[in-house]
Chain A
């Protein structure tokens, strides 16, 4: 009996929250807000906030063309794998006190799961056989390399700080990291975590391929790069997983640095006699608002004021400036600041 209940519970996680439905809605909504904000910053009216939904449904209605040079199987399956992995990743990231897979969330697992969507785009691009895709995938891979090092350092420093505090010496479990923050306040209030948080903010656009780190998808330069040959449904899947990635990265940021906010909310709500499900809903809304603020900060604003970096400039930027910030954070964390 309990197996059935558990099964239904997990099914609900996968399908509704924080699985497909939540990812679909809030990911695309975030994208729409991002586009609107950029437009407003450029003094344009901008597309409606629901524009990504229109784009998505339109793409579903378009013809899917598989070029003759492509390996059909990989070309068509890769977007689905990417999307699925992206949603799974979202399942692993705890939302304040709610965690779909308790005790499984591990920062290194997340680090690797983050690779899969990018890798699936790369594989699909390679499978299409287009030279534009070839150039695009090379740039995407270099972007991944560039982002990986600072991301690792940020995660390690967070693991060190929390590990120090809870006495195990190291803490790779994201659940524990969030739980610690729920009771002790957000990590961003710690001095040693501020450089890491800034580094993470800079990592988000790199990881999601936002301006100015979108050399891989430079549409005016290499014809959309990796997506040059994609049309119709697979393209829709890519656009969706890109949107979900935006959500995932911002949620990850919230989980790593802003987890404490949830604790405050819970306390406030519990005392005011509005319990249970409602509290949960409010938490989701708060999470979404936080994500929006982060997107506004690190994607929209940066997009509006910068021009695209060349790929080797991008690499240099990440391995010097952002890595430097993360290293500062790690060293401070190591000496217990």
Chain B
């Protein structure tokens, strides 16, 4: 029962850690917009954490530049299990307009297992919330799977 409580709670209190992997800041602003009064993601328990140690969901924006790649990976690795990786915007998925640049290493899924992709340039807040909700579900699943083993 205690276990179930924890799994339930995991679905209700996902904390975000936001990594900017060379983004144009459009997605970053949009992510913040999700938390402001109009869309208020906090009503679902979403909260921006200051340190990856406290996060459940990592939100990556930007095309993953050469400069940022090792840092992104390092920060992701420092998030404790169970964790979910969400890419926000088209950049981390395809490179978007930066594709083909010498300094772009993306997509992110080349390096880590990405759980949710939220496409768009930039994605609408509704889409972001939807994506996060999906990620939360995956988080709960991960927790349950880990619990069974």
Report A's interface with B, CB cutoff 8 A. Answer: 35, 39, 42-48, 51, 53-58, 60-65, 132, 218-220, 222-224, 227-232, 235
Instruction: State in angstroms the CA–CA spacing of A42 and B44 once bound together.
Output: 16
Could you show 16 A-B contacts with beta carbons less than 8 Å apart?
Answer: A46-B42, A48-B43, A54-B13, A54-B45, A55-B45, A57-B6, A57-B8, A58-B12, A61-B7, A62-B80, A63-B80, A65-B53, A218-B50, A219-B51, A224-B51, A230-B54
Chain B residues with Cβ under 8 A from A60's Cβ? 6
Contact assessment for A61 and B143 in the assembled complex, using a CB-CB cutoff below 8 Å: yes
Chain B residues with Cβ under 8 A from A231's Cβ? 53-54, 80
- Leading 4 A-B pairs by shortest Cβ distance: A219-B50, A57-B9, A63-B80, A61-B6
Contact assessment for B13 and A45 in the assembled complex, using a CB-CB cutoff below 8 Å: no
Instruction: State in angstroms the CA–CA spacing of A53 and B8 once bound together.
Output: 11
Convert B67-88 into 0s and 1s, putting 1 for each residue whose CB lies closer than 8 angstroms to a CB of A. 0000000000010111000000
Instruction: State in angstroms the CA–CA spacing of A228 and B51 once bound together.
Output: 6
Interface residues of B in 1-47 (CB under 8 A from A): 5-10, 12-14, 36-37, 40, 42-45
Contact assessment for B81 and A51 in the assembled complex, using a CB-CB cutoff below 8 Å: no
Report B's interface with A, CB cutoff 8 A. Answer: 5-10, 12-14, 36-37, 40, 42-45, 48-51, 53-54, 56, 78, 80-82, 143
Q: Known interface pairs A230-B53, A231-B54. Does A55 touch B13 (Cβ–Cβ under 8 Å)?
A: yes
Minimum C-beta distance from B29 to chain A (A): 15
Instruction: State in angstroms the CA–CA spacing of A29 and B136 once bound together.
Output: 24
Contact assessment for B10 and A58 in the assembled complex, using a CB-CB cutoff below 8 Å: yes
Instruction: State in angstroms the CA–CA spacing of A93 and B49 once bound together.
Output: 33
Chain B residues with Cβ under 8 A from A53's Cβ? 9
Contact assessment for B43 and A44 in the assembled complex, using a CB-CB cutoff below 8 Å: yes
The residue of chain A having its C-beta at the shortest distance from the C-beta of B6 within the complex is A61
Instruction: State in angstroms the CA–CA spacing of A10 and B1 once bound together.
Output: 29
Q: A58 touches which one: B37, B40, B53, B56 (CB < 8 A)?
A: B56
Contact assessment for A61 and B10 in the assembled complex, using a CB-CB cutoff below 8 Å: yes
Minimum C-beta distance from A187 to chain B (A): 38
Q: Known interface pairs A220-B50, A231-B80, A232-B80. Does A61 touch B9 (Cβ–Cβ under 8 Å)?
A: yes
The residue of chain B having its C-beta at the shortest distance from the C-beta of A222 within the complex is B50
Chain B residues with Cβ under 8 A from A48's Cβ? 12, 43, 45
Contact assessment for A224 and B49 in the assembled complex, using a CB-CB cutoff below 8 Å: yes
The residue of chain A having its C-beta at the shortest distance from the C-beta of B79 within the complex is A231
Chain B residues with Cβ under 8 A from A42's Cβ? 37
Contact assessment for A58 and B13 in the assembled complex, using a CB-CB cutoff below 8 Å: yes
Instruction: State in angstroms the CA–CA spacing of A54 and B5 once bound together.
Output: 9
Chain A residues with Cβ under 8 A from B5's Cβ? 57
Instruction: State in angstroms the CA–CA spacing of A132 and B14 once bound together.
Output: 23
Instruction: State in angstroms the CA–CA spacing of A160 and B43 once bound together.
Output: 47
Instruction: State in angstroms the CA–CA spacing of A275 and B53 once bound together.
Output: 51
